[in-house]
Amino acid sequence: MADKGISQFFMAKVANMPGIEFMEGDFAICSSIDEIPLPKDPGRIDAAIVGLCLCGNIKLCINLDDYVISKNQIVLIMPDQIIRLGKKSRDYKGIYILASKNFIDEMLPYFNQLSIFLYVKEHPVTDLSNEEVNIFKEYHSFLWKKVQMKDNAYRKEISRNLLLALLYEAYGMFSKHRLPESRKTRQEELFADFIKLVRLNFRREHFVSFYADKLCITSKYLSLLVKSVSGRSASVWIDEYVILEAKALLTSSKLTIKQISDTLGFVSQSFFGKFFRRHTGASPRKFRGGAC
């Protein structure tokens, strides 16, 4: 059954592919999106992708929202997001760097994880100044050269630190478009832990009480702090993950609606149908048929 689910993009797919320099599972670098085997149907990725459009434009669907990336715009796709590659203009050119999920997990403690997650999740594309474009291009060029230094015993360490520096640069570019933030509070830390738990368990656990128990707090307190930090209730966050997964499965998998219902932990297909209709305004069958 697994082969009928949402397609997956794995970092290992780019190893030994022509036009891509691959660094021992940590990251890859290329100068054309055609060299990255991105899914044509909605698929989940296990890597972060940072891309810069140099000219023309390209359409990407990220978490089922459509974006058009144009000249001097940067896109940052995080691990576990659902993406689909759309059409690109004839004059499109872009440069890309991919980082493995493990690398991102190792590097996130150096950043404000909550800020990255919340802002980039909602705003994966942003405009760059000419100076910022040049900075990104310089990093890309320098990383390309360093990765190719096969005879350098410290090639991996040098490349990893350059990539970390680039992630700082990208984070700074996106940060310019956010309001200034204060130091993360205990409530924000708990919210980040809650989101991490939801990402791992939403397919089977739909109730706030499960996540509250895991965090050793009451459901009422979890609901209050999530609403205070994010402006949305804990149940809305959980439902958002479930609905996104359901839409992706209905769009790109061959699973029956009953199988999707079971995959997402619903007690019955009928209950799943009511849940889906309440959140989307359409039945799963109608959504799959392209009516929405």
CATH classification of the domain holding 197? 1.10.10.60
Of 89, 59, 90, 64, the closest CA to residue 75 belongs to: 59
As a whole number, mean pLDDT of residues 112-121 equals 63
The Cα 256–Cα 106 span in angstroms is: 38
pLDDT tens for 53-84 read 999 999 998 887 889 999 999 998 888 788 88
- Name the pLDDT band for 205 (thresholds 50, 70, 90): very high
- Distance between CA 223 and CA 6 in Å, rounded? 31
With respect to residue 181, please indicate whether it lies within any of the assigned structural domains.
no
Confidence at 26, pLDDT banded by 50, 70, 90 = confident
pLDDT above 50 for 292: no
Number of domains in the chain: 2
Look at residue 171 and tell me if it is in a domain.
Answer: yes
Which tokens is 184 given? 């993360």
pLDDT-based confidence at residue 234 (cuts at 50, 70, 90): very high
What is the average pLDDT across 112-120? 62
- Which CATH number does the domain housing residue 41 bear? 2.60.120.10
What's the average model confidence in pLDDT over 155-173? 82
Cβ proximity of 59 and 25 under 8 Å: no
155 with 20, same domain? yes
Say whether both 165 and 202 belong to one domain.
no
Angle of CA points 105, 165, 102, to nearest 5°: 15
Residue 60 per-residue DSSP state: E
Q: Domain boundary residue among 147, 175, 203?
A: 175
Decide: 53 and 70 in contact? Cβ < 8 Å: yes
Higher pLDDT, 102 or 165: 165
Handedness of CA 15, 174, 162, 137 (dihedral sign): positive
Domain match, 245 and 264 both: yes
Same-domain check for residues 63 and 196: no
Does pLDDT of 3 surpass 60? no
Residue 184 pLDDT greater than 70, yes or no: no
- Tell me, yes or no, whether 98 and 201 share the same domain: no
Q: How far apart are CA 119 and CA 246, in angstroms?
A: 23
Domain identity same for 41 and 143:
yes
Are 197 and 113 part of one and the same domain? no
171 with 192, same domain?
Answer: no
**In this predicted model, which residue has the larger pLDDT, 67 or 2?**
67
Q: The dihedral of CA 108, 122, 47, 134: what is its sign?
A: negative
Structural domain for 53, as ranges? 2-175
Q: In this structure, what is the dihedral angle of CA atoms 102, 106, 111, 114, given to the nearest 10 degrees? A: 60
> Higher model confidence: residue 201 or residue 155?
201
Whether residue 43 is found in the same domain as residue 81: yes
Residue 240: alpha-carbon gap to chain centroid: 14
Checking if the pLDDT of 247 tops 70, the result is: yes
Which tens digit of pLDDT belongs to each residue from 257-279? 999 999 999 999 999 999 999 99
- Whether 82 and 54 map to the same domain: the answer is yes
CA 108 – CA 114 distance, rounded (Å): 10
Asked whether residue 242 is assigned to any structural domain, the reply reads: yes
Residues 137, 271 within the same domain: no
Please check whether residue 166 lies inside any domain of the structure: yes
Residue 109 has pLDDT above 60, yes or no: no
Whether residues 22 and 165 fall in one domain: yes
